[in-house]
Structure 1
Amino acid sequence: MRYKRFGKTNLNLSVFSLGTMRCLASEEIFGDTIKQAIASGINHIETAKGYGKSEYYLGRVLKEDLIRENLYITTKLPPTANADQMRQWIDESLEKLQLDYLDCLAIHGINTWDHLDYITQPKGCWPALQEALNNGKVHHLGFSTHGSLDLILAAIKTDLFEFVNLHYYYFFQRHEPAIALASEKDLGIFIISPGDKGGNLYTPPETLKNLCQPFSPLELTYRVLLCDRRITTLSMGPANPQELTDPLSVADNDSLLTIEEKQALERLETHLESVLGSDRCHQCYQCLPCPESINIPEILRLRNLAIAYDMTEFAQYRYRMFENAGHWFPGRKGNHCTECGECLPRCPQQLKIPQLLNDTHQRLNGSTRRRLWE
C-alpha cells in the first residue's frame, strides 16, 4: 500500500480509502470488511450521517477492537443554515463513532449555491464548524460535492476547506479544472467511488473488458487516477471483504502509465470515435443552459458510454436518477425536450441534440433504482 500527504491536512493517507456505504448488509459483514481493509494497509475510513447505521457500526468496531491508533476517520454531515443543528450533528456523530474527535469532517454535498451560502454566510453553520475546529472536536474540514464545476471552483476559492471529495474519472473528466485548482491551493484530493460512479466497473460489459485487455477496466481506471500526483486517495466501497481484492492489487503502483496502459486508453478513445462518429458529444457544455433544465451533456455522456462500450447498465442506473435524486443528480430527462432549438447553434459539433435526447431516453429510461443507503 502506498501512502500520500493529504494536502494541507498533512495526514499521510493510504492511496485507497474505505467508503462504508455499501457494506451495510449486516453488522458482521461491516465489521469483517473494516478489519480486512485495515489488515491490508488502509488507514482512512469514510462514513456519513446519511449512510444508515454506518457510523454506529464503525463506532462499535473501533471500540471493541481498539484499532483507533494510526487510523484516520472522516464522517460527512449535510450543509445546514442552522449552526445549532450542526453542533448537534457533530456531537451525535462523535457519540455514534465513540470518538473524542474527528480527524476529518466533510460537508456532505455542497451541491447548490444555497448550500455554499450555508457555510459562508454569517448566519449559517460556519460558527459551529469554527467552534468544532477550535475546541478540537474536528481537526480538518473539507467538503464533498455533486454540484456544477462553477460551484466547486467557488467553494475551493473560499479557502475555508483543507480537502475536497470529487467525482473525477477516466469516463468523466469534466472536473479536471477543480482538480487543478485544489492542487494549486494544496487541498487534499479524495476521489469519490471510481469503481461504482466511474462506470459500474465491478461488473463491466464484455465490450469494455475486451478493449481494456490485458487490464481489467477497474484496474485501468484506478491506474489513471493513482498515477496523477495531484490526487491523494481513491474511495472504494466494497459490499464485503472479497471486493477489496481487485483494488488492493494495484495499491502499491502509483508509477507513470506504462506503454501497454496508454495503448489500452488509446483503444478506448479510438473505439469511441469510430462507433459514435458524428453523433459523439465531446462534453464541452456549451449547449447549456437548457430552458427545460435538461442536463444535456450528462445525458449525452451516458449515451456515448452505452453505445460505444455497451455500458448500458451503468447508463441506465445514472439516467434513472434524473428527477429522482434532487440536488444530488440535477436535471430533467431527455423526454422533456420541446425542440426549441436554443442549444443547436451553441454546439460546436452541430449535433442534432433533440433527436439524440429522445434516442437516449428510449434507450435508458425505465423504473427508478433504489439508492444504496435507502
Structure 2
Amino acid sequence: MHYRRFGKTNLQLSVFSLGMMRCLSSPGQAQATLQAAINRGINHIETARGYGRSEEYLGAALKANLGVSREKLYITTKLPPVCDRLVMSQWIHESLERLGVNYLDCLAIHGINTWEHLEWVLSDNGCMVAVQEAVASGLIHHVGFSSHGSLELILAAIESDLFDFVNLHYYLFFQRHAPAIALAAQKDLGIFIISPADKGGKLYTPSPTLAQLCEPYSPLEINYRFLLSDPRITTLSVGAAQPEELELPLQVKDRTFPLTSAENQVLQQLDEHLNQTLATDLCSQCYACLPCPESINIPEVLRLRNLAVAYDMTDYSKYRYGMFENAGHWFPGMKADRCNSCNDCLPRCPQSLDIPTLLYDTHQRLQGESRRRLWG
C-alpha cells in the first residue's frame, strides 16, 4: 500500500480509504471488513452520522483487537451543515460516543450542497462555531467538507479557508471539478475522491462496449489509475460491504506512478470513440446552457446521454437519471421531460446543439424507476 500526505493535515493516508456506508448487515460484518482493510494496509476509515448504524458498528469494531493502535488508524466522520451551533455540538458528542473514541482525526461537513448551507457554515452562530470549539478542545483534529453542489459553490467553500481537506466527486467520466482539484491543491488541502467505482460509472459492472475500449485494462482499473496517477489526490474511497470486495480495487494500490503510454492510449481511444459516436450531438459540458427556466440540469442530463450513447453505460445513466426529482439537494434538477421548448438555452450553446431534442431523446432512453439516495 502506498501512502500520501493529506494536505495541510500532514496525515499520511493510504491511497485507498475504507468507506463504511455499506457495512451494515451486522457488527460482525463491519468488523470483518475493517480487519481485512487494515490487514491490506488501509489506515483511513470514513463513516457518517447519516449512514444508518455505521458509526455504531464501526465503534463496536474498534473495540476489538485489530492489530493496530488507535494512533495509527485515522477516522473521519461526517455531519451535515446546520444553522445552529448547539445542534452541531450535540451531534459531535453523539458521534464520539457511538464511535467510542476520545477524538476524531477528521470531521467533514457532510454536503455543503447549496449556497444556504455555506451561509450556515459561515454565520456567527452556525455549525462551524461548534466545530472550531471542538477543535480547540482537542475533540477534532482536522476539518473538511464534502459537496454535491455546483463547481462555483465548491470553489467558494475552498476559498473560505476554513477547511483542511475536501471530499470530491471527480472521475475519468466526470472531470467538471478539475478546477476544484487545482484550487484545493494550491491551498494545500487534502483531496479525498469519493465513490470512484459507483458514482464514477458503476465501473464494477461495465458494458461490453466500455470493457472492450479499455482493454487490456478493466474500466475500473483505468479509472483508478487516472486518479492515482495525479499526485494532488491523496486517497480514494472503497465502499466495501464485505472483505472480498476489497480485492479488485487494491490490485492497483501500489500503482501511483504517472500514466503509462499504454494507459494514455486507452484514454485517447475513449475520447476518439466518444467524438466519433456522438459527432455533432456531443455535449462538451461547458455549462453555458444554464440556468434553465424549468430547473433541468441540462449538462448532467446530456452527460448521461453521452455515456449511454458512446459507451453503452445505460445502466449507470438510468441509475443516475432516476435520481432527478428524488434526491433533493444531493442530486438537484428536474427530469428532461420538463422541457417546454422555450429555447432559452439555444443561443447560449457554443456548439449549437438542438438541446430540446436531445433532452427528449435522453428521457426516452433513460426514463425508468425513480431512485432515491441510499440515505435520504
Q: Could you tell me which of 134, 142, 149 is aligned with 2:144? A: 142
Query: Any conservation in 2 of the 1:22–1:373 contact (CA below 8 Å)?
Result: no
Post-superposition offset of 1:324 = 0.3
How many residues in Structure 1 have an aligned counterpart in Structure 2? Answer: 374
Task: Map 1:99-118 onto structure 2 (within 5 A).
Answer: 99-118=101-120
Aligned partner of 2:253: which letter? Answer: A
Of 80, 83, 106, which aligns to 1:81? 83
CA distance in 2, matches of 1:273, 1:297: 17
Distance 2:96 2:169 in 1: 27
Contact 2:110 2:146 in 1 (8 A): yes
One-letter amino acid matched to 1:59: G
Identity across the alignment (%):
66
1:125, CA displacement in angstroms? 1.6
Provide runs of 4+ in structure 1 moved above 4 Å: none
Verify the 8 A CA contact 2:114 2:153 in the aligned structure 1.
yes
AA aligned to 2:52 is G
Q: CA deviation at 1:69?
A: 3.5
**Which of 217, 231, 235 is the matching residue for 1:229?**
231
CA RMSD of aligned residues (A): 1.0
Match of residue 206 from structure 2:
204
Q: Which residue of 1 aligns with 2:54?
A: 54
Paired AA for residue 227 in structure 1 = S
- Residue deviations 1:118-165 (CA, integer Å, cap 9, x gap): 111112122211100000000000000001000000000000000000
Q: Map of 1:132-281 to 2, 5 A cutoff?
A: 132-281=134-283
Between the aligned partners of 1:364 and 1:347, the Cα distance in structure 2 is 23
* Counterpart position of 1:15: 15
- Report what 1:307 is aligned to: 309
Q: Deviations over 1:30-59 (max 9, x none)?
A: 221111001000000000000011100000
Is the contact between residue 49 and residue 55 of structure 2 (CA under 8 Å) also seen in structure 1?
A: yes
CA drift of 1:370 comes to 4.6
Q: Deviations over 1:53-82 (max 9, x none)?
A: 110000011012254241000000000001
1:373 positional shift = 4.0
More displaced stretch, 1-10 vs 123-132? 123-132
Contact 2:325 2:335 (8 Å CA) reproduced:
yes
What are the Cα deviations for residues 257-306 of structure 1, in whole angstroms up to 9, with x where unaligned? 01110111111111111111110100000000111110000000000001
Q: Does 1:91 align with 2:93?
A: yes
**CA contact 2:31–2:58 (8 Å) conserved in 1:** yes
Counterpart CA distance in 2 for 1:218 and 1:204 is 8
Aligned counterparts of 2:164 and 2:47: Cα–Cα separation in 1: 18
Q: Secondary structure at the match of 1:154?
A: helix
Structure 1 residue 223, shift from structure 2 partner: 0.3
Q: C-alpha distance in 2, partners of 1:6/1:253?
A: 18
* Aligned counterpart, 2:4: 4
Partner of 1:329: 331
Gaps of 5+ in 1: none
Q: Measure, in 2, the Cα distance between the counterparts of 1:137 and 1:59.
A: 16
3-state SS in 1 of match to 2:63:
helix
Could you tell me which of 266, 283, 286 is aligned with 1:284?
286
Unaligned runs of 5+ in 2: none
TM-score by length of structure 1 reads 0.98
Counterpart code for 2:7: G
Which range is displaced more, 98-107 or 66-75? 66-75
Q: Give the superposition deviation at 1:366.
A: 1.2
Q: Which whole-Å CA distance do the structure 1 matches of 2:64 and 2:247 have between them?
A: 25
Quick check: 1:22–1:372 contact (8 Å CA) kept in 2? no
What residue is the counterpart of 2:27 in the other structure?
A: 27
Scaled by the length of structure 2, the TM-score of the pair is 0.98
Question: Which residue identity is paired with 1:85?
Answer: V
Letter in 2 for 1:78: P
Query: Cα distance 1:373–1:34, how it changes in 2: closer, same or farther (>3 A)?
Result: farther
Task: Quote how far apart the aligned CAs of 1:369 are.
Answer: 2.7
Q: Residues of 2 paired with 1:22 and 1:127: CA distance?
A: 31
8 A Cα contact 2:207 2:311, kept in partner = yes
Letter matched to residue 259 of structure 2: L
Q: Give the CA deviation at 1:174.
A: 0.3
Which range moves more in the overlay, 119-128 or 213-222? 119-128
Shift of 1:239: 2.0
SS at match of 2:241: coil
Number of the residue aligned with 1:345: 347
Asked if the contact 2:202/2:316 (under 8 Å) is kept, the reply is: yes
